[in-house]
Amino acid sequence: MQQYMELVHELTNEFDVFTLTLVRRGQNKKADVLKKLAALAFDHLRKNVGVEVLTKKSIDEKSIVAPIVEESPNWMIPLVKLLTDGELPADEKEAQNIRMKAPMYALIEDVLYRKSYLDPSLLCIGPNQAKVVLQEVHEGSCALHSG
């Protein structure tokens, strides 16, 4: 900065009137914007973008996945019975437990979901489905990408 000031003092002799004013940072926003615009390189805007037109669908038919059937009664059965028929288990302690849990669940198109306030509802699955999901995550199409 000192070298610039010395050059300015040398050049002041060539002018009739000369004034040097300090411009504070808050008052120099327009100059900062102009400097940034001048420094931008617009080379990336000149690149061409290739467009490929697809003549046929990449997926012709929907693939139908066979649902996994839960063979034995599981933890979801009492909740589904309560939400559909209002039926509670005979055991009073278990019935109270199910009554307390029921407001956290919803039955949508005969499928049980756990409600969430900020996130989407979570699909409830039984033990057999859980085994398949874990196997798929660890060994199937998600293998090595589970993080």
Query: Would 30 be classed as within a structural domain?
Result: no
| Measured distance CA(119)–CA(122) in Å, rounded | 8
Query: Would 95 be classed as within a structural domain?
Result: yes
Structural contact between residues 125 and 109, judged by C-beta atoms closer than 8 angstroms: no
Query: Would 109 be classed as within a structural domain?
Result: yes
Query: Would 40 be classed as within a structural domain?
Result: no
Query: Would 34 be classed as within a structural domain?
Result: no
Query: Would 130 be classed as within a structural domain?
Result: yes
How many structural domains is the chain composed of? 1
Taking 3-state DSSP, the helix, strand and coil percentages for the chain, each rounded to the nearest 5, stand at 45, 5, 50
pLDDT at 104: 92
**Tokens of residue 89, six digits:** 């288990």
The domain in which residue 135 lies consists of 76-139
Query: Would 129 be classed as within a structural domain?
Result: yes
pLDDT at 144: 64
Query: Would 133 be classed as within a structural domain?
Result: yes
Cα separations in angstroms, 50 against 16, 47, 53, 54, 70? 59, 10, 10, 13, 49
> Could you report the average pLDDT of every consecutive run of 10 residues in the chain (147 residues)?
80 83 79 74 63 72 60 84 89 92 89 85 87 80 60
